[in-house]
Structure 1
Amino acid sequence: MNFLAMVVGSIGLFLCVWHRKRLGLSFDLNKQERNQILWLTLAFFCVIGSYTVLKELKDLFFAQIVGANYVYKVKLISMFVLIPATLLYAKLVDYMSRFKLLMFYSLLYGIAGFVIAYFLNDPVVGLANTVANSNRTFGWFIYLFYEGLVPFVISVFWSFANSVTSPETAKKSYTLLIAGSKIGGMFTAGIAYLMFTPTTVLGKLQWSSVFINQVLLIGASILLVISPCIIYYLLQTSTEKSLQGYEAVHEYEQEQEKKGEAETGVFSGLTMLFRYPYIMGIFGMMFFYELVNVVLGIQRIVLLQEFAKDAAEFSGEMFYQRFLMHTVGLFISFFGTRILIKKLGEQTCLILIPLFMGGLLFCFMMFPSKETILWVFMALGMLNYAFASPLREALYIPTVRDIRFKSKAWIESFGQRFAKACGSGVIGFIQRIALVGTPAYTALFSGFFIWVVALWTIVAWLLGRKYSSVIKKGEAIGAD
């Protein structure tokens, strides 16, 4: 089965490249743009390859050390823990260049990963102690620490990419970045699955579950350390003009530096989030997705742990699902996202996001079952990373530095956790007033999803209209 999947994937990629013009996949990039996108894609390969492993390990470690039933609680706590971390990050934005900021956080999480991997084998605090307990602080620390990966590593990478890319180049090439990240996710998730599955070549080595987790954590940490090295090479081989990004924003930031007004304080990103409806709209696009995702995600973890025979099977199943998400996401990014953006434009594609998601939720509510939850969760992830993500990130291109780095960090740290906390609250509220599987339970969740999709669609329409207007006029959001 694995061999067949690899063969089909290889043939698909070959046909994709061979018939790229016929399929509308001719990217029309000049030499400098190709160089820039190539190295950005390789760096993103490392970042998402690492994140794919760390995201699952974070959940796995917490479930095994603390207990899966406490996932909803740690999601609530993470919302408040990340506030001081985001304030520190906002301060660093004023003093560090965009590359140094990316390097600092990549190395921080990379080096810390080596230390955490060492303690995983500890008989008291590590995985060697198989008794899950809510008092084991090591599990809480791992989860809360790696919750910062999105706002302080992935978000910083996208902020860097958005700052050196023009809207025209992004439209032609951001699907390449996503495709590269999907390959990175497939690579690491595939290796993890093979290591946890006893019938595969790597599984027959009969390594202990603890040792496999250590190897995966160290490998993911190495990828994080490599990513800023690739970006450094990009900076050395690119011209200054090619790294200016959106012209209107670049000119505004140059004027701010000349006036000595580049340093704006730790709360500027937060104030801009509430000051500009456009930025609040980007927050809304993220909020509604996370709201739905966490409702299904918590149920997924509980289901997988319930039906798995042991920790290794639990881990292997989670990585196998992640591998499928990246594999299908790769083809969506090549055959779907690129063509849809080219044919329909960003404004229409933004509206398609909640409509696609709503269709999946409709399937879930019409055919509720354990299998449906797992497949709908994976489909939501595929669409988000392969279709919604490049569109959402491109929205930051016509914004000033404070919005790209500071407001974005607030959205993806506190804002994202706030969305997850709301999702956890919805689950808790519905479960308190209705029994699982009853008509009342189904009706409450159906009503919740309908309202979310309706509001999501309105926000997407308004946001797409504003983006098109700003690009057409050559304006910069946040420059007034």
Structure 2
Amino acid sequence: MKNPFQAFMDVRRAEWPLALAMLTYFFLVITSFWILKPLKKGLFIEYYDASGFDLLGVQFTAAQAELLAKVLNMLVAFVAVVVFTWLSRFLRRQQLSFVFAGFFIVCYLLFTRWLDQPGGGAVWSFYLFGDLFSTLMVATFFAFLNDAVYQETARRLYGLVGLGGVLGGVFGSTVVRVNIDNLTYPDWLWICSGLALLIVFAAWLAGRHVQVPLAEEPEASAESVQHNPATEGARLVFRSHYLLSIVAIVGLYEIISTIMDFQFTATIAHYLSGPEIGAQFALVFSITNWVSLIVQLFFTGLVMSRFGVGIALLVLPCTIAMGSTAFLLFPVLWMGSLLNTADNGFSYSINQSAKEALYVPTTPAEKYRAKAFIDMFVQRFAKAVAVLISLGLTFAFGDFDSLRYLSLITLLLLVLWVAAARYAGRVFRASEEQAAAANSQP
């Protein structure tokens, strides 16, 4: 290749307006996410770090209490799946974005009053709200994107569009790190409200430049509407081996990621206290997002265009294997902190672009309802499984040193993840070849 950036920047002239609008949309969503994430996590851990959390006479540390919050997130995600599935029967693309952005603006305004002097109820509610934002808005964005491009263009455009999310992560986490001591929680929520209004504008702009016709759903609306919105996505998933492989990729990643996040959080809570906890979270998140930016700029588009989606799906398991092995051997503050970087530095860049590309050859119903089931319920269910694993081991051994042995479970699960990724990559490649052969016929 004469130009090493050709794979990343291989965008046709007519595709630029949509690509830039979606890049901006994703930038705003992830900027908001990375503002909310350290705030809700720092508030939760600081609140329970001093006294711990008592439930039915059992005392939990702050990190263990956060695992309980992740279980509760599964119930919130189930409600989100039902609402998303029902709305997607009538609204698609930018219309869904308008509805959910408006919902979060209302919530931001309510939390500006509630977090002025937060108590236990506000702390738990804000934590759940932060996860609900990422659950709904990221799923809404990618459902829109996957429904707006052809399979032939996905490998070329997703690197550029994904850059918006990586830039949003760098920008959001850096802004929080620099200003975390200068702005109050209500101040941050007013900023997020402004970002939500910009999301509405970016979605509207992207909708004007979509060139892919809105496909009719083959299942005919009368029959589709009769399906229970709580189970429709699951029904679509379980009749497709390809979608089940995506379930395996997503589910195994979430179990592994939750275990690593618990190790990361518990390590910081063990070595630090007070405001140092929030500052360390902000610093690590900033480092992670800079790594993600470098990967997205110089690696994602090149790998996906030259080697394919299948190879791109294997990058994250390899980095997690290296990070987990290192923490198993050296469970110190910065090795535990960099577990976040080994995970999210590659998850939010190359792995997300490759994973989302897998949905492009699916049907409209699968893009919206099956994907919502996977991205919302399967993710949260997998987190709940990881919570049981993490709590079981830490309660059994009861000391910080036992955290390192969770990495052994991570390494075993990686074997299954790699097998699922290889299968999904082969099917995606076969569908690409079929689409190319169909397009070449006169």
TM-score, structure 2 normalization: 0.88
Contact in 2 for aligned 1:66/1:139 (Cα 8 Å): no
State the distance in 2 between where 1:254 and 1:420 align: 32
State the distance in 1 between where 2:330 and 2:6 align: 36
Q: Deviations over 1:219-248 (max 9, x none)?
A: 123212211211212223x26xx1338xxx
Letter in 2 for 1:471: E
Contact in 2 for aligned 1:151/1:409 (Cα 8 Å): no
Q: Are 1:405 and 2:368 counterparts?
A: yes
Deviation at 1:369, TM superposition (A): 2.0
State the distance in 2 between where 1:359 and 1:152 align: 31
State the distance in 2 between where 1:282 and 1:378 align: 23
Q: Are 1:115 and 2:76 counterparts?
A: no
Letter in 2 for 1:281: S
Deviation at 1:373, TM superposition (A): 1.1
Give 1:348's aligned residue.
Answer: 311
State the distance in 2 between where 1:364 and 1:351 align: 21
Q: Are 1:44 and 2:26 counterparts?
A: yes
Give 1:147's aligned residue.
Answer: 131
Deviation at 1:30, TM superposition (A): 1.8
Contact in 1 for aligned 2:116/2:185 (Cα 8 Å): no
Q: Are 1:244 and 2:213 counterparts?
A: yes
Gap regions ≥5 residues in structure 1: 1-18, 130-135, 198-206, 476-480
The equivalences for 1:200-349 within 5 A come to 207=182, 211-236=183-208, 238=209, 242-244=211-213, 250=215, 253=216, 263=225, 265=227, 266=229, 267-311=231-275, 313-349=276-312
Deviation at 1:40, TM superposition (A): 0.5
Contact in 2 for aligned 1:326/1:382 (Cα 8 Å): yes
Contact in 2 for aligned 1:94/1:264 (Cα 8 Å): no
The correspondence for 1:451, drawn from 412, 415, 436, is 412
Query: 1:179 and 1:276, CA in 2 relative to 1: closer, same or farther beyond 3 A?
Result: same
The correspondence for 1:422, drawn from 377, 385, 396, is 385
Give 1:200's aligned residue.
Answer: none
Letter in 2 for 1:271: R
Letter in 1 for 2:75: F
Q: Secondary structure at the match of 2:10?
A: coil
Contact in 2 for aligned 1:268/1:406 (Cα 8 Å): yes
Give 2:329's aligned residue.
Answer: 366
Letter in 2 for 1:221: S
Contact in 1 for aligned 2:217/2:365 (Cα 8 Å): no
Q: Secondary structure at the match of 2:89?
A: helix
Query: 1:325 and 1:446, CA in 2 relative to 1: closer, same or farther beyond 3 A?
Result: closer
Query: 1:446 and 1:137, CA in 2 relative to 1: closer, same or farther beyond 3 A?
Result: closer
Query: 1:303 and 1:433, CA in 2 relative to 1: closer, same or farther beyond 3 A?
Result: closer
Query: 1:29 and 1:141, CA in 2 relative to 1: closer, same or farther beyond 3 A?
Result: same
Letter in 2 for 1:74: A
Query: 1:56 and 1:374, CA in 2 relative to 1: closer, same or farther beyond 3 A?
Result: same
Q: Are 1:34 and 2:16 counterparts?
A: yes
State the distance in 2 between where 1:393 and 1:416 align: 14
Deviation at 1:65, TM superposition (A): 4.1
State the distance in 2 between where 1:337 and 1:344 align: 10
State the distance in 2 between where 1:302 and 1:255 align: 49
Letter in 1 for 2:337: L
State the distance in 1 between where 2:123 and 2:255 align: 24
Deviation at 1:308, TM superposition (A): 4.2
TM-score, structure 1 normalization: 0.81
Give 1:471's aligned residue.
Answer: 432
Q: Are 1:89 and 2:58 counterparts?
A: no
State the distance in 2 between where 1:352 and 1:49 align: 24
Give 1:70's aligned residue.
Answer: 65
Deviation at 1:289, TM superposition (A): 1.7
Which is worse superposed, 385-394 or 68-77? Answer: 68-77
Letter in 2 for 1:111: V
Q: Deviations over 1:311-362 (max 9, x none)?
A: 3x43232122212111111110111111112221112222333233222222
Q: Deviations over 1:116-143 (max 9, x none)?
A: 0222113xxx2xx6xxxxxx22222222
State the distance in 2 between where 1:102 and 1:235 align: 10
Deviation at 1:306, TM superposition (A): 4.6
Give 1:15's aligned residue.
Answer: none
Query: 1:73 and 1:309, CA in 2 relative to 1: closer, same or farther beyond 3 A?
Result: closer
Deviation at 1:113, TM superposition (A): 1.1
Q: Secondary structure at the match of 1:148?
A: helix
Contact in 1 for aligned 2:252/2:417 (Cα 8 Å): yes
Letter in 2 for 1:399: T
Contact in 2 for aligned 1:29/1:172 (Cα 8 Å): yes
Letter in 2 for 1:39: A
State the distance in 2 between where 1:358 and 1:102 align: 36
Give 2:320's aligned residue.
Answer: 357
Deviation at 1:254, TM superposition (A): 5.9
State the distance in 2 between where 1:102 and 1:158 align: 11
Letter in 2 for 1:284: A
Which is worse superposed, 47-56 or 73-82? Answer: 73-82
Deviation at 1:283, TM superposition (A): 1.6
Deviation at 1:48, TM superposition (A): 0.5
Query: 1:117 and 1:299, CA in 2 relative to 1: closer, same or farther beyond 3 A?
Result: farther
Q: Are 1:462 and 2:423 counterparts?
A: yes
State the distance in 2 between where 1:58 and 1:234 align: 30
Q: Secondary structure at the match of 1:164?
A: coil
State the distance in 1 between where 2:41 and 2:286 align: 16
Q: Are 1:106 and 2:90 counterparts?
A: no
Give 2:121's aligned residue.
Answer: 137
Query: 1:402 and 1:186, CA in 2 relative to 1: closer, same or farther beyond 3 A?
Result: same
Q: Deviations over 1:245-273 (max 9, x none)?
A: 8xxxx3xx26556x755646312211112
Query: 1:264 and 1:40, CA in 2 relative to 1: closer, same or farther beyond 3 A?
Result: farther
Q: Secondary structure at the match of 2:360?
A: coil
Deviation at 1:20, TM superposition (A): 9.2
Letter in 2 for 1:389: Q
Deviation at 1:38, TM superposition (A): 0.5
Deviation at 1:158, TM superposition (A): 0.5
Contact in 2 for aligned 1:330/1:386 (Cα 8 Å): yes
Report the count of equivalent residues.
Answer: 421
State the distance in 1 between where 2:270 and 2:95 align: 44
Q: Secondary structure at the match of 2:368?
A: helix
